């Protein structure tokens, strides 16, 4: 039985093909937490300049699509410097986790500056969360899943802490379906790791290996190279 509700015909299910998606590598790169932590320790002071405005349309679209209710309990995984944390309605309760103390420090400062008291930030590894099962209504990972060593383990954790009927939402860049672009993304992926992400994460293989059946996949940002993947926990 699928762990997520399936999308309508011609929508997200078309991303899951019948080839070798269940077994093939998600990226040409392999990365460890220590390496990622060190990259974000160095990036933290300038993160908002590099990744703030360029990735912001996708963040705004994701929050708009969530249709957040005042009673919603939201978990943001990989909250970083808290760029999204101040976008949620003030009435809902938000928890943001990240394993980088340097990124979180900037997040705390942003929350204080904006007078946000409905958001708590915690230092935690996305692959081993300290929350009980079914704790949140929305579990959202903006620009995280191509950063972590094991995206399938992280999304399994996201699903565990999401309540049945709640949503698991992933905003991320994935490898292009265009052959030439995909080749280029594979080529540069070992280098983009130093900027904090893998450029070639394979969406069909990720969906198949994580047993995800999104209800929608929307292209976001300009150019539209990022995807907003929404799943409902059955
Ligand atoms: C590209 S940033 C995204 C930040 C923010 N969500 C945004 O929209 O700008 C990725 C964040 O994920 C964090 N991260 C990477 N691996 C993680 C892990 N295993 N557990 C928790 N946080 C992690 C990094 O420290 C960094 O802050």
Q: Residue of the nearest CA to atom 10 in ligand 1? A: 144
User: What structural domains does the chain harbor?
Assistant: 12-63+72-81+91-232 (3.40.50.150)
Q: Over the stretch 102-111, which tens digit does the pLDDT of each residue have?
A: 999 999 999 9
- Per DSSP, the chain holds a count of helices (H) and strands (E) of 7, 7
Ligand 1 atom with the smallest distance to the CA of 104 is: 27
The residue to mutate among 88, 147, 148, 157, having the most atoms of ligand 1 within 8 angstroms of its beta carbon, is 147
Q: What's the gap in Å between 63 CA and the centre of ligand 1?
A: 17
Q: What is the pLDDT of residue 1?
A: 31
Q: Over the stretch 8-34, which tens digit does the pLDDT of each residue have?
A: 433 455 555 557 898 889 999 988 999
Helical spans, DSSP H, in the chain:
33-43, 47-51, 56-66, 101-113, 151-161, 179-192, 203-209
Q: Over the stretch 142-196, which tens digit does the pLDDT of each residue have?
A: 999 999 999 999 999 999 999 999 999 999 999 999 999 999 999 999 999 999 8
């Amino acid at each position: 039985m699928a762990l997520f509700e399936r999308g309508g015909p011609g929508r997200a299910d078309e991303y899951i093909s019948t080839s070798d998606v269940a077994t093939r590598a998600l990226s040409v790169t392999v990365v460890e937490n220590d390496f990622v932590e060190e990259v974000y320790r160095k990036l933290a002071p300038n993160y908002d300049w590099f990744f703030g405005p360029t990735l912001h349309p996708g963040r705004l679209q994701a929050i708009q699509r969530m249709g957040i209710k005042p009673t919603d309990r939201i978990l943001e995984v990989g909250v970083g410097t808290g760029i999204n944390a101040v976008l949620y309605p003030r009435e809902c309760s938000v928890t943001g986790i990240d394993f980088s103390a340097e990124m979180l420090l900037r997040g705390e400062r942003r929350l204080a500056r904006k007078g946000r008291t409905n958001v708590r930030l915690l230092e935690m590894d996305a692959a081993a969360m300290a929350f009980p099962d079914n704790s949140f209504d929305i579990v959202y990972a903006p620009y995280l899943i191509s950063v972590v060593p094991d995206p399938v383990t992280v999304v399994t954790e996201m699903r565990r802490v999401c309540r049945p009927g709640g949503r698991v939402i992933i905003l991320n860049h994935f490898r292009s379906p265009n052959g030439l672009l995909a080749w280029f993304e594979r080529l540069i992926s070992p280098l983009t790791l130093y900027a904090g992400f893998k450029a070639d994460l394979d969406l069909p293989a990720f969906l198949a290996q994580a047993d995800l059946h999104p209800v929608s996949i929307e292209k976001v940002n300009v150019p539209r190279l990022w995807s907003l993947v929404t799943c409902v926990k059955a």
